[in-house]
Amino acid sequence: MIRRARYNEQAKITNKGENAMKNKRIGGRLLCLLLVLIMVLPAGCGTTGEQTPMGPTVTDASGAVLALKENRQELTIASVYAVSVPFIKALGLTDRVKAINCKSNFWKEADEHLKAAGSVGRGKVDLEALASFAPDVLVHRSNDTDTLEAVGQLGVTLLCISAEDMAGIYSTLELMGTYFGVEERAAEVIAWMDAKFARIDALVADIPEEDRKTALVMGGELGRIAGGDMLQSWMIEKAGGVCVAKGIENNSNWVTVGVEKVFSMNPEVIMCTSSTALEYELSDMLEGPAWSAVEAVKNKAVYQIPSLKDSWDMPGISPVLGTMWMVHTMYPEKLSKAELEKEIEEYYLFLFGKTFTPETLGYELSF
């Protein structure tokens, strides 16, 4: 009996030890799995794998929380995202740019720092070139997850922006102003924009609802339009027009509705974007028999938004000019050609410290 009792006790001890070892092995496996998940799961913008930083921070357009660096007024910049360029210029950051992708050569011709900058790709990042230039920060769009994860492996900080509407434009100015230590300039730019938009509000405030022009913005292809949630549609409404694409949305992207849908919308004014190349001529609408019943075509009210070298309907500061131009185009009695020319001059003086001829910018005011 004694021998059996000792055996039972020894068996309990043995089983207890085996269970402990088994639990330890399971715990070890779970720990390894957790570590793998931490390493594999995307970390958004910022440097991949970073923990939530201590001290002053900003939250970028991807939702990543980034620490404000002590040397933030000296951080160098690279970008393959052309939308970032107007913000970099407006905030006075071009002297920090190591590599950049500009929408047109106008930007490099107008700014010596941008002209001297190298390239790390157009739209897509050349990782080898990025490693060579070694900027402190890559400014990029928030919805390109493949690029964000690849760049994070190089140890380059990612600052993600989203500026496809006016709320995004203002938040991008504030974000970049804070992150790069130029808050005062960001506030100055925002106040300047607010004052210009307030003037536009005053210009169109007394236009009766029944006299407001219906309009849409055509994209790079006929039948491809700015949806109601896009910047260009906001500009139409701000300029006193009625956007016929209201209710048609595609996450702030261009929408292909087809020419038959445009015919049924029957806008009084058609304005074609300058933010992308057109695969058609305005004459295709003005002289095309299929378009002859559209009010805009009947009234010869088909235009391209200026300018070919510096688009006024591209995210940035220029939508101020684009909206002014829309007021002049739809209601010339509210804003004359001479007044619009003065606004154009003020804009370029504010942003570039100098003016440019219509020929340089690639536009012509016909009335």
Per residue in 236-293, pLDDT (tens digit) is: 999 999 999 999 988 888 999 999 999 999 999 999 999 999 999 999 999 999 999 9
Measured CA to CA, the distance from residue 122 to residue 100 in angstroms comes to 8
- Kindly indicate the confidence band of residue 129, based on its pLDDT and cuts at 50, 70 and 90: very high
Phi, psi of 109 (to 5 degrees): -70, -30
- The pLDDT assigned to 13 comes to 39
Predicted structure pTM score: 0.85
pLDDT of residue 310: 95
In angstroms, the CA 247 to CA 220 distance is 21
In sequence order, the β-bridge partners of residue 99 are: 78, 118
Residue 153: pLDDT over 90: no
- Give the confidence band of 45 by pLDDT, cuts at 50, 70, 90: low
At which residue do the structure tokens 């075509």 appear?
A: 297
Q: How far is CA 347 from the centre of its chain?
A: 20
**Which domains are delineated in the chain?**
57-181 (3.40.50.1980), 207-361 (3.40.50.1980)
Beta bridge partners of 254: 226
E strand segments, 100-234? 137-141, 157-161, 214-218, 224-226
The DSSP secondary-structure symbol of 357 reads: -
Structure confidence at residue 18 (pLDDT): 45
Residue of higher predicted confidence among 204 and 54: 204
Answer for the pair 189, 173: CB distance below 8 angstroms, yes or no.
yes
Whether residue 188 is predicted with pLDDT greater than 90 in this model: the reply is yes
| C-alpha to C-alpha distance for 128 and 143, rounded to whole angstroms | 22
**SS3 call for 137:** strand
Residue 349 exposure: Cα atoms within 13 Å on the Cβ side: 6
pLDDT band at 50 (very low <50, low <70, confident <90, very high): low
Q: Give the length of the chain.
A: 367
Centre a 10 Å sphere on the Cβ of residue 292 and count the other Cβ atoms it contains: 11
Buried b (16+ CB within 10 A) or exposed e, 181-219: bbeebbebbbebbeebbeebeebbeebeeeebbbbbbbb
Residue 116 DSSP code: H
Q: What is the mean pLDDT of residues 213-229?
A: 97
Mean pLDDT, residues 70-86: 97
For helices 166-179 and 183-204, give the axis angle rounded to 10 degrees: 160
